[in-house]
Amino acid sequence: MTETTNVVLVGAGHAHLHVAAHAQRLIEHGAHVTLISPGDFWYSGMATGMLGGDYEASQDRLDPASLIEAHGGEFVADRVIGIDRHQRLVRLADSPPLAYDLLSLNLGSRVDPSSIFGLSSADNVWPVKPLSGLWRLRQQLESALAGDAEAPSLAVIGGGPTGVELTANLVALYARYGREPNIALVSASERLLPNAPRAAGAWIERRLERCGVRLELAASAVGHQAGELRLDDGMRLNVEHVVLANGLIAPELTGELGLCCDSRQGLAITAALHSPDDSRIFAVGDCAWLRQAPYPKLGVFGVRQAPVLLDNLCAWLAGEALRDYRPQRRYLSVLNLGDGRGLALWDRWWWKGRLALKLKRRLDRRFMAQYGV
């Protein structure tokens, strides 16, 4: 291929880290590879442990600029504000537009605070995404916990794996300062971890209650005003901080392209990971919606998509057939419980203990070591 083809990667997510680390393959096909991201990559697998004090911020993030530049590509530190599909331009907040021939989106996901009245404009509300917010929350809490004043009151909204893991690590953070947790966990489900084996959910409920966490199950937060969180069962909780872990949705940009998408699930993609309406636009991870086989918004799916995305970008450049991605039906999930133990979930099986956390730490460190420069 004699002409240079502009391959633009928007977002430094799990899959794009892999593509950046193998950018030379694209360059060998005549591509100029550009990665756009407003900042560092924060790894979701270690973020709750960072909140609880297991890791420092430097251990939980990677510099995507060093990664892409070390492998022959270019980095642009900016935020994408729009995409012109007809002119094939990516519009940036603070830089001139970038032309693309192939575009890949790995934008992650977000939490929508507007579902709870008053939260969008409230102070001390911490959506689980972006993950950098968890580091800022830890800093604020540590400043308060190190003093003599009463420990900050806090509510975590969401009883799935993320909400449970956040709560357990907040308990650990309070314990590091010798403080009793002043924490409530609010979940619309009747039990924690509703998609896990019932015994696993019952075990974690008992454990959190023994640690002093107040569980508000089968209750939804409906409003927030002046430090008071209102639930739909009439309960009112006085809280200084609210952590949102009540489900992830796609970023707004995916709905602004004029392509088939779902406002919550993201941009529709084929099994070959590109839009069915525009074969030049690929999407992976949380911002993508594989209609025939939807998958949860978990990093493990972006990791598995990564080699398929790289192969298909190379195949597109070479004029070859693209291969299909098939999401795995079963996947391992290990929760860091903040006390040196983990809770491992695999389909209908679960186990707990130090070996579970040891396995998680090994997997997390191996992932981060792949992309450290």
Q: Where exactly are the structural domains of the chain? A: 5-110+248-318, 113-247
**154 - beta bridge partners?**
183, 241
Amino acid at residue number 346: W
Section 35-42 average pLDDT: 97
Backbone angles phi, psi at 248, to 5 degrees: -105, 145
* Residue 185 pLDDT greater than 90, yes or no: yes
pLDDT for 3 beyond 80: no
Determine contact, residues 82/256, Cβ cutoff 8 Å: yes
Query: If we measure between CA atoms, which residue out of 340, 361, 300, 316 comes closest to residue 175?
Result: 340
Residue 22 tokens, joined: 């193998």
- Of the chain, the percentage scoring pLDDT greater than 70 comes to 99
pLDDT digits (tens, 9 = 90+) for 106-123: 999 999 888 899 888 778
* pLDDT value, residue 334: 97
Instruction: Give me the helices (H) in 42-155, please.
Output: 44-52, 64-70, 132-145
pLDDT tens readout for residues 49-75: 999 999 999 999 999 999 999 999 999
Whether the predicted pLDDT of 344 surpasses 60 = yes
Q: CB count, 10 Å around CB of 266?
A: 28
Res. 373 pLDDT band, cuts 50 70 90: low
Buried b (16+ CB within 10 A) or exposed e, 327-363: eeeebebbbbbbbebbbbbeeeebebeeebbeebbee
Distance CA 89, CA 91 (A): 6
Burial class (CB in 10 A: 0-12, 13-18, 19+), 67: buried
Res 123: pLDDT = 84
Measure Cα distances from 329 to 294, 301, 305 in Å.
11, 11, 14
For residue 305, give every residue at least 6 positions away whose Cβ sits within 8 Å of its Cβ, in sequence order, or none: 15, 273, 284, 285, 325
What's the average model confidence in pLDDT over 121-132?
A: 91
Q: Which fold has domain 5-110+248-318?
A: FAD/NAD(P)-binding domain (3.50.50)
Computed over every residue of the chain, the mean pLDDT equals 95
* pLDDT bucket at 1, cuts 50 / 70 / 90: very low
Query: So what's the architecture of 113-247 in CATH?
Result: 3-Layer(bba) Sandwich (3.50)
- Report whether pLDDT(255) > 50: yes
Give the per-residue SS3 of 141-179: HHHHHCCCCCCCCEEEECCCHHHHHHHHHHHHHHHHCCC
pLDDT of 7 above 60: yes
Q: What is the pTM of this model?
A: 0.94
CA separation for the pair 24, 180 (Å, rounded): 52
